[in-house]
Each structure stands twice: as C-alpha cells, then as structure tokens.
Amino acid sequence: MNWKLILALSLFGLVIAVASLFGLGFMGPTLWLFIVGLCACFIAALAPGKYFLHGFLVNILSMFWIFAIHACYLLEVSQNKPVMVEILPGGRSPQVENLLLGLAAAGVTGVIGGLFAFVASLILKKRAPSESEAAR
C-alpha cells in the first residue's frame, strides 16, 4: 500500500469541500467525476498493486475531508444562526443527517473510485509495451 499516494490524492477532497462551500452548482458532479478519473490514472500509474483498494481508500478519505469541512461549517451556522438550521423531519438534527449522508456517500464513492482505479490499471497495462517489444 502506498499511503503517501492515498493521502496526497485524498487532498482533492479538501479542495472540493472548500469549493462547495462557495457553491459549485451543476459543476460539482462534473468536477468530482473528473477528479475521480484523474486519481484513478495516478493510482494505476503509481500504486504497487491493489488498485481497487487504493481507489477505495482515496475516495473514503476524500469524503472524510468533505464531510468534516461541511460538519464544521454546519456547526458554525447552527451556533451563529440557529434559525437557518432547523430540525429535519423525523426529529433528526442536521448534524446527524450530515453524518449519515457522509457515511453513505463515502461508501458509494469509495466503490466507484475503486472501480475507476481498477479499470484504469487494466487500460494502462494494455497500453504499456511488453518487455519483448521494448527490447527491439
């Protein structure tokens, strides 16, 4: 496992988290898909194997950064402007809803990122010249 690679690529989640606080609108999913694809290419090129696991962990950690930033922001808003943060239907607080949404999103994006990394590794291995071709 290349933990430096996992940590470095997960920092894209920090960028998305801060950008989303300023409003990404329809660009959010597009930006996320681009970053997951970019991370998959880096993982396929630099990881020592276990491509799915690397992609899964990168996206889990990215979602941790995103939802940690959102939780801090939500906590600040709820303290400074409690009218803006009302109790949701079913009696759940916004903080609990954020946590539940974060766990679900982390699992889904982890699997998607892992699949992207695995497919990218297959594509890059297919494109890499074999040793016999490189020797010619």
Domain boundary assignment for the chain: 3-125
Torsion of CA 25, 28, 31, 36, to 10 degrees: -170
Distances from the Cα of 31 to the Cα of 10, 43, 91, 92, 134, angstroms? 14, 18, 33, 30, 37
pTM: 0.79
- Report pLDDT for 19: 85
Mean pLDDT in order along the chain per 10 residues (136 residues): 93 88 81 92 93 96 88 71 60 74 91 95 78 52
**What is the pLDDT, as a whole number, of residue 84?**
54
> What is the predicted pLDDT for the residue at 92?
67
Q: What is the pLDDT of residue 12?
A: 92
